[in-house]
Amino acid sequence: MTKTVAKKVPKPPKNSLAGKRGGWAADFRKHKMLYAMFAVVMIYYIVFHYLPMAGIVMAFQNFRPAKGFLESDWVGMKNFIDFFSGPYAGRLIRNTIVLNLYLLIFGFPAPIIFALMLNEMRAKRYKSVMQTVSYMPHFVSAVVACGIVSLFCQSSGLLTSLFHLLGLSDQVDMLAYPQYFRSIYVIMDIWQSLGWGSIIYLATLSNVDLNLYEAADIDGAGRFRKIWNITLPALLPVIVVQLIMRIGSMMSLGAGNVILLYRASTYETSDIISSYVYRAGLQNQKYSLGTAVDLFNSIINIGLLTGANYVSRKVTEESLW
Amino acid sequence: MAKKEMQLERDVEVDIDITQRKRIGRSLGEKIFDGANYIVVTLICLICLYPMLYVLFASISNGNALYTHVGPIWAPLQPMTLDGYVKVLANPDIVSGYINTIIYVVFGTLFAMALTILGAYVLSRKGYKLKKFFTMFVVLTMYLSGGMIPTFIVVRNLGMLDTRLAIIIVGSVSTWNMIVMKTAFSAVPQGLEEAAIIDGANELQVLTRVILPTTKATLAVIVLFYSVGIWNSWFNSMIYLQHRELYPLQLFLREILVEDSALEGSMDIQSGVGVNYIKPLLKYCTIIVSTVPILCVYPFVQKYFVKGVMMGSLKE
């Protein structure tokens, strides 16, 4: 839409454009205010984004804060070797992958199914009330959400009682035992993101051509048939893009909720790469080791994102780039 | 301008109103389908809502009854009491946490908005040579980052550790929001800008007198995104702050709700000795006290959030 507007605007005369073409000085003079404005933004991005990126070199150093990036000793791949030959690498990678697979299998389809169900509701007012209610958990802060979960998982807590009733656990503090961690984490994630995650799918469905449904009605198609043949295909591009983004950010799952929920007694299943980066790198101040692990994680991530994007472009012609 | 806002409101309505389809008549199968669908959706929403209701009921329940209670609560346990709230509101940590959080929300949002507006404005302009480079420069940070530790070292070297400035500035600007805002700025009719330029306005005046007034709705959405984000954030504060006087509310909540529960859990395993019977009650009250401001404004602003999500999804 923007583009058509732009096209209608008469272009400045050719010769003035030609005059500008080579002249950087002229360009700067003409737009000095724009450049000044962006300079402020640029300083912020350089200091808080690009300097840290350059700081990744410490993954290959034995970084000492007192010496800084320039003076610290270079150790090559030592930090990576230390990590991979250490006792934690296997456990961390496994935990990160398994937790993410759980989230992918249970957390990813949930908002899609919820959106499909909302989309079938015709009572407009009621539906919007339901939506409002379902978005609410998204606005509860991570700390409070994890606090509620901690309370509910105590030996007499609500979630523990429910699990106990279903024969899934004893009446114990579930967060203290490794076998429950992933289920608890996934349940909390779904609680917080179910409604909110459905927005994007509902928005897409609002653009579906209603004539398609009418045509299907005339052909005598039932509800499931319409969902399968019209609604789902309309959602597919968005689902694919969301899936790529999800897979691409799999390994970078934020440490936040894990750090709030895990305990030393559950590290066996709960400790993931990013929480380890925080614990080893910042809490225990092994800066270089932490950065190395983080870098390894980012590289896997970029690989996953590129791979998912490639596969999706081949298979469905939908992609991020 | 008012018209534009009306247009936005109408869009939201339309989004909600997507299933108003013409129906000729419903068969029995359709009715069963609809009935089941309504019931399931309602159940899901009740399950979403119930944890908050439980917390609310628990927070006005009798402390001892609550401590021994097992299973769901459908009404406050008698005798009802507000003791928990009295104690929580008298807790100096909660009070100072509240004040700090308000400081961080106000100044953090102002700072982030200023940079986001400047960046978005420059990126939305046309006809200067570095436009491509600037866009790349900003967008690249959405895919690549230095990570937690190098950022920490940079902040440390700047001498910003354990200062309010760290919480207000570090990680405040969201590139995503900047791109959303840029899209909105680009959609402002060029005629308006050109008229202003002919009247002799410079870039800053175009921004403040033409662009900002015509994109108020978008600005409001982004202000909301930033302020709720800062209100709920805790990770940066945990990394960068040491002095308790500077802690935002969320860090105190973490101590009260999460760390203490972990401590109690381990005691629970051992013996159960030394447990404070009023603690669960206090925790529930703390949750309500800290979440009420968000939940009070939430029903009124949620449609703007929804709008924001959709603006983000309409990538050019």
- Residues B145-171 have pLDDT tens digits of 888 999 999 999 999 999 999 999 999
Q: Are residues A14 and A139 in the same domain?
A: no
User: Hey, what are A288's tokens?
Assistant: 């270089």
Q: Is residue B316, in this structure, part of any structural domain at all?
A: no
pLDDT of residue B275 exceeding 70: no
Q: What is the span of the domain harbouring residue B97?
A: 92-244
Strongest mean pLDDT among A204-218, A291-305, B288-302 = A291-305
Q: Do A277 and B149 touch (CB under 8 A)?
A: yes
Query: Do the Cβ atoms of A256 and B203 come within 8 Å?
Result: no
> Is the same domain home to A112 and A31?
no
Cβ within 8 Å, pair A147-B147: no
Tell me if A21 is assigned to some domain. yes
φ, ψ at A74 (rounded to 5°): -85, 135
Residue A1's pLDDT is what? 38
Same-domain pairing of A65 and A106: no
Same domain, A166 and A310: yes
Asked, for residue A26, whether it belongs to a domain, the answer is yes
Q: What number is the average pLDDT over the span B10-22?
A: 46
Mean per-residue pLDDT over chain A, rounded: 86
The reply to whether residue A255 touches residue B235, judged by beta carbons under 8 angstroms, is: yes
- A168 interface with B at CB cutoff 8 Å: no
CB nearest to B151's CB, from A41, A48, A128: A48
Residue A156 forms part of a structural domain:
yes
Residue B173 has pLDDT above 90, yes or no: yes
More confident residue, B284 or B2: B284
Is residue B263 included in any domain, yes or no?
Answer: no
Confidence of residue B262 (pLDDT cuts 50, 70, 90): low
**pLDDT of residue B266 exceeding 70:** no
- Are residues A166 and A112 part of one domain? yes
Per-residue confidence (pLDDT) for residue B271, from 0 to 100:
46
In chain A, helix, strand, coil percent, each to 5?
A: 75, 0, 20
Residues A279, A208 share a domain: yes
Mean pLDDT value across residues A104-120: 93
Q: Does A203 touch chain B (CB under 8 A)?
A: yes
Confidence of residue A182 (pLDDT cuts 50, 70, 90): very high
Q: Give domain status of residue B75, yes or no.
A: no
Residue A23 backbone zone (phi > 0: left; psi -120 to 50: alpha; other: beta): beta
Same domain for A70 and A88, yes or no, is no
Q: Is the pLDDT higher at A174 or at B69? A: A174
Global ipTM: 0.85
Angstroms from B18 CA to nearest CA on chain A: 5
Residue B191 lies in a domain: yes
Q: Residue B135: pLDDT above 50? A: yes
Cβ-based contacts under 8 A for chains A and B:
314
Q: B89: closest CA among B129, B66, B59?
A: B59
Residue A175 in this model has a pLDDT that exceeds 60:
yes
Residue A156 to residue B69, Cβ atoms within 8 A: yes
B21 falls within a domain: no
Residues A51 and A157 in one domain: no
Nearest CA in chain A to B40: A117
If one counts the domains in chain A, the total is 2
- In angstroms, the Cα distances linking B83 to B53, B55, B58, B59, B91 are 19, 15, 12, 9, 13
Q: Using an 8 Å CB-CB cutoff, list chain A residues near B149.
A: 55, 58, 277, 281-282, 287, 290-291, 294
Q: Is B198 inside any structural domain? A: yes
Listed residues A76, A102, A133: the one ending a domain: A76
- Residue A262 domain flag: yes
Cβ–Cβ below 8 Å for A141 and B299: no
Average the pLDDT over each of A14-18, A166-170, A199-203 and give the range with the smallest value: A14-18
Contact call for residues B214 and A104 (beta carbons, < 8 A): no
Domain boundary among A61, A76, A91: A76
Segment A112-117 shows an average pLDDT of 94
Q: How many folded domains does chain B comprise?
A: 1
Q: Which residue among B153, B203, B280 places its CB closest to the CB of A33?
A: B203
Long-range CB pairs of A166-173 (<8 Å, 24+ gap) are A171/B70, A172/B268, A172/B269, A173/B264, A173/B265, A173/B268, A173/B269
A129 and A44 share one domain: no
Q: Both A168 and A25 in a single domain?
A: no
At A222, is the pLDDT very low, low, confident or very high (cuts 50, 70, 90)?
confident
Q: ∠ CA A254-A260-A266 to the nearest 5 degrees? A: 100
Cα three-residue angle B129-B182-B201, rounded to 5 degrees: 70
Q: Which residue has the higher pLDDT, A46 or A231?
A: A46
pLDDT 10s digits, B220-239: 889 988 998 999 999 999 99
Q: How confident is the model at residue B29 (pLDDT cuts 50, 70, 90)?
A: confident
Convert the pLDDT of each residue in A22-74 to its tens digit: 688 888 888 888 999 999 999 999 999 999 999 999 999 888 888 888 888 89
What pLDDT is recorded for position A264? 87
Cα separation, B265 vs B27, in Å, equals 55
Q: Which residues of A63-77 are buried (b: 16+ CB within 10 A; e: fewer)?
A: beeeeebeebeebee
What contacts B17, CB < 8 A, 6 or more positions away?
Answer: A124
Bigger pLDDT: B60 or B300? B60
Mean pLDDT, residues A75-84: 92
- Both tokens of A195, joined, read 């409604």
CB contact at 8 A, B267 and A154: no
Look at residue A56 and tell me if it is in a domain.
yes
The CATH number of the domain holding residue B132 is 1.10.3720.10
Interface check for A176 against chain B (CB to CB < 8 A): the answer is yes
DSSP state string for B109-128: HHHHHHHHHHHHHHHH--S-
User: Is position B269 within any domain?
Assistant: no
Cβ <8 Å between A282 and B148: yes
Contact state of A24 with B258 under an 8 Å Cβ cutoff: no
How far apart are alpha carbons B135 and B79 in whole angstroms? Answer: 62
Share of chain A above pLDDT 70, in %: 93
Q: Answer whether residue B145 is part of any domain.
A: yes
A62 and A120, same domain (yes or no): no
B43-72 mean pLDDT: 88
Among A92-96, A312-316, B245-249, the least confident range: A312-316
In this structure, the answer to whether residues A58 and A164 fall within a common structural domain is no
- What pLDDT does residue A173 have? 87
B165 in contact with chain A, both atoms CB, cutoff 8 A = no
Residues of chain A neighbouring B182 (CB-CB closer than 8 A): none
Residue A321 domain-assigned (yes or no): no
Question: Which residues of B are less than 8 Å from A223 in CB distance?
Answer: 29-30, 33
Q: How far apart are CA A81 and CA A71, in angstroms?
A: 22
CA distances from A188 to A181, A289, B40, B51, B263 (A): 11, 31, 20, 11, 21
Distance in angstroms (rounded) separating the CA atoms of residues B117 and A150: 40
CB-based contact A256 B115, cutoff 8 Å? no
Which amino acid would we find at residue A135?
Answer: Y
Q: For residue A265, give the chain B residue with the closest CA.
A: B266
Query: Would you state the structure tokens that stand for residue A133, as one six-digit string?
Result: 């209610």
Phi and psi at residue A73, in whole multiples of 5°? -75, 140
Q: Among residues B179, B186, B181, B159, which one has the least CA distance to residue B170?
A: B159
> How many angstroms separate the CA of residue B150 from the nearest CA in chain A?
5
Of A76, A104, A126, which one is at a domain's C-terminal end? Answer: A76
Q: Cβ contact (<8 Å) for B146 and A42?
A: no
Alpha-helix runs per DSSP H in A140-271: 142-152, 158-165, 181-205, 210-218, 223-226, 232-248, 256-261, 267-270
Contact B18 A202 (CB under 8 A): yes
Which residue of chain B is at minimal alpha-carbon distance from A218?
A: B24
3-state secondary structure B179-233: HHHHHHHHCCCHHHHHHHHHCCCCHHHHHHHHHHHHCHHHHHHHHHHHHHHHHHC
B37 CB neighbours in chain A (<8 A) are 117, 120-121
- Quick one: angle between helices B2-16 and B279-313, nearest 10? 110
Q: Are B291 and A140 in contact (CB under 8 A)?
A: yes
pLDDT of A2 over the 70 cut: no
Q: What is the pLDDT of residue B14?
A: 45
- Is the CB of A40 less than 8 angstroms away from the CB of B118? yes
Give the pLDDT band of residue A14 (cuts 50, 70, 90): very low
| CB spacing of B71 vs A161 below 8 angstroms | yes
For residue A244, the enclosing domain spans 81-316
Q: Does A18 touch chain B (CB under 8 A)?
A: no
Helix (H, G, I), strand (E, B) or coil at B23: coil
Burial status of residue B182 (CB atoms within 10 A of its CB: 0-12, 13-18, 19 or more) = buried
